[in-house]
Amino acid sequence: MSREQRGPNEKLGTVLALAGISNAGLARRVNDLGAQRGLTLRYDKTSVARWVSKGMVPQGAAPHLIAAAIGQKLGRPVPLHEIGLADADPAPEVGLAFPRDVGEAVKAATELYRLDLAGRRAGGGIWQSLAGSFSVSAYATPASRWLINPADSSVERTLRGAEGAGAAPESPDDASARVGHSDVAKLREAAEDARRWDSKYGGGDWRSSMVPECLRVDAAPLLLASYSDEVGRALFGATAELTRLAGWMAFDTGQQEAAQRYYIQALRLARAAADVPLGGYVLASMSLQATYRGFADEGVDLAQAAVERNRGLATARTMSFFRLVEARAHAKASDAAAAGAALKAAESWLERSREGDTDPSWLGFYSYDRFAADAAECYRDLKAPRQVRRFTEQALSRPTEEYIRSHGLRLVVSAVAELESGNLDAACAAGTRAVEVAGRISSARTTEYVRDLLHRLEPYGDEPRVAELRERARPLLMAPA
């Protein structure tokens, strides 16, 4: 369905010409982006001609998909007003701002929290509208502003009136209530619980979906309340952890556009917390996403930003993780020398870590097992199967129930290494175990790893063991996202 504007949409026509996209090409791109979100769209070159020459405005998610399709070609975000579709449904920019002012930062974060819940209740809502709108260039301003100044000078907040209620915002008689350390402790406990569930069951598990609810119901009222500078720093830190977790879970379930917005807000909150290592952790998460999405060069930049800002501040184990993430990006970019140097540095930092170090709680997942697992993935990308096998064996030496998803990913990497070494039986055996693990969790990322393995096995499709593995994986691959 469309509604008509007054006259031609000259803005859309101009941007299409600038991007070098034909009417048929835009229609195809929009249909493809819609299909990625389960939308059946049948636009054609005539549809686009009507948008341009008659000013017709498509309804639903289409305007956002048009902007995303053009943005992908131009390599930058394209706001709706630039293509003459500003009258479409609102909110395409939510969560992308990195305000300099702390008050504006609170507003940007709480707006994102409210919108996410609305999206979930609507069965996809805003995230469905934003399908395909991930743009790595959206990380440029947040990263540069954080690098220039990773800590706000003060975050104290004093309000008068009902909106200042923190502990009990529903009670107008308690408008003078201030956030205390006990409020912050509850958020940190929620973050710790969420981390455990995510590692064990995947980002798509129903328990993990409670994180956005916690941000809306618990964290947002506290951010909008009154607090001292000391308590405020702690509050921003705890909320940043939860927001990063929401981003990581969205990333794990394939909602890249949602993950990007959560990450940007998490970085801004970490700046308000004056927690430079936590900001580095968010940048590392951004780096992993950028690398996963095929933007390895940008992934290197984001990881190196985390490394450089944390020299002399972060613990040895934290620095090790940042260098490991950098190695992942270098390997994806096929830069073997840089990847090897970053891996060597990561291992050196890890060897220097000690039991009594004051490592942040959010780094509890990182050990030599995780280092070995990521090193194996680096060498997989560098096509060095012998090294992949060596590190994968170390990574799989101590499987635990606590990190089930990681175990499944490592099994797939092991299967790829065996296949590239010519060991089809071993590859299928590892693949079968990976499928079994993947079936116990809700993780689109793990499913994609399995899908990639099956693609690599296609030349051996006539082999009975390969056919059996494909059959075992069928329910997993056909499950709804």
pLDDT of residue 440: 85
DSSP secondary structure letters along 41-65: ----HHHHHHHHHS-EEE-TTHHHH
Question: Which strand (E) or helix (H) includes residue 358?
Answer: none
For 29-88, what is each residue's pLDDT tens digit?
A: 998 887 765 567 889 999 999 999 988 888 767 887 898 889 888 888 788 888 988 765
Residue 208 scores a pLDDT above 60: no
CB 339 within 8 A of CB 377: no
For 104-126, what is each residue's pLDDT tens digit?
A: 999 999 999 987 544 443 334 45
Domains and CATH numbers, the chain: 2-83 (1.10.260), 94-120+157-266 (no CATH), 383-481 (no CATH)
pLDDT of residue 294: 92
pLDDT of residue 308: 97
* Residue 175 pLDDT grade (very low, low, confident, very high; cuts 50, 70, 90): very low
Span 95-105, average pLDDT = 94
pLDDT of residue 91: 54
pLDDT of residue 161: 52
| Cross-strand pairs, 56 | 4
Cβ within 8 Å of residue 95, ≥6 positions away: 108, 111, 112, 115, 260, 261, 262, 264, 265
- The neighbour count for residue 174, using CB atoms within 10 Å, is 14
Span 430-445, average pLDDT = 89
- Residue that wins the pLDDT comparison between 302 and 197: 302
CB 289 within 8 A of CB 251: yes
Nearest to 310 by CA among 356, 353, 279: 279
pLDDT of residue 453: 94
For 284-296, what is each residue's pLDDT tens digit?
A: 999 999 999 999 9
Residue 474 scores a pLDDT above 70: yes
Residue 2 scores a pLDDT above 60: no
- The neighbour count for residue 426, using CB atoms within 10 Å, is 16
For 372-415, what is each residue's pLDDT tens digit?
A: 999 999 999 999 999 999 999 888 887 666 678 888 899 999 99
pLDDT of residue 116: 56
Cβ within 8 Å of residue 453, ≥6 positions away: 412, 415, 416, 419, 427, 431, 434
Inter-residue long-range contacts of 183-187, CB under 8 Å, 24+ positions, other chains counted: 183/222, 183/235, 184/222, 184/231, 184/234, 184/235, 184/238, 186/218, 187/214, 187/218, 187/219, 187/222, 187/235, 187/238, 187/239, 187/241, 187/242
Residue 165 scores a pLDDT above 60: no
The full length of the chain comes to 481
Mean pLDDT lowest for which of 2-6, 144-148, 186-190, 359-363? 2-6
Span 17-24, average pLDDT = 93
* % of the chain surpassing 90 pLDDT: 62
Residue 307 scores a pLDDT above 90: yes
| Cross-strand pairs, 4 | 56
> What whole-number distance in Å separates Cα of residue 137 and Cα of residue 81?
19
> With 0-12 CB in 10 A as exposed, 13-18 as middle and 19+ as buried, what is 18?
exposed
The amino acid sitting at 211 is: V
Residue 244 CA, distance from chain mean position: 8
What tokens were used for 285? 């998460």
Share the mean pLDDT of the chain: 86
Span 340-354, average pLDDT = 96
The amino acid sitting at 154 is: S
